[in-house]
Amino acid sequence: MASGVKPRVKVPKKAAAGEAVTIKTLISHKMESGQRKDKEGNAIPRSIINRFTCEFNGTMVIDVTMEPAISTNPYMEFEATVPEAGDFKFTWYDDDGSVYDTSKSIKMA
């Protein structure tokens, strides 16, 4: 597991039924592209998060396939429909097999 990985997610606390909410996510991860070289000229092996998904009560909102061209500390912003109160589940999949997840609940206004 890459060290210091910390997901941060911003979801509104409340929403009206059927409302579209904007979700912002950021996860601290160095996203080593595999293109860089160290001082001795050896290539630093690739180590990135290759997939991110967001689900709301089991319904898929977005599923992103990520390549090395995504910046350090990957940031994602997107919109989701909230039909009822429930939980957003966010999952990041690392190259090394680790899975980072977090969830946020949202209430009806």
Partner 1 sequence: MEFSRRETLAMGLGAAVLTVLPFRVNAAAEDMIAEFTGGADLSDSGVELTAPEIAENGNTVPISVSAPGATAIMVLATGNPTPGVATFNFGPGAASQSASTRIRLAGTQDVVAVAKLADGSFAKASAAVKVTIGGCGG
Taking CB under 8 A as the criterion, the residue among 80, 94, 100, 106 binding partner 1 is 80
Alpha-carbon distance of 20 to 56, in angstroms, equals 12
42 makes contact with partner 1 (CB under 8 A): no
**Which pair of structure tokens corresponds to residue 49?**
């998060």
Which residue, 10 or 36, is less far from partner 1 as judged by CB?
36
The least distance separating partner 1 from the CB of residue 93, rounded to whole angstroms, comes to 14
CA dihedral sign, ordered 59, 64, 65, 68: negative
Candidate residues 2, 61, 93, 102; the one interacting with partner 1 per rule CB under 8 A: 61
19, 61 in Cβ contact below 8 A?
Answer: no
Q: Does 37 bind partner 1 (CB under 8 A)?
A: yes
- Footprint of partner 1 on this chain (CB under 8 A)? 20-21, 33, 35-37, 54-56, 59-72, 74-81
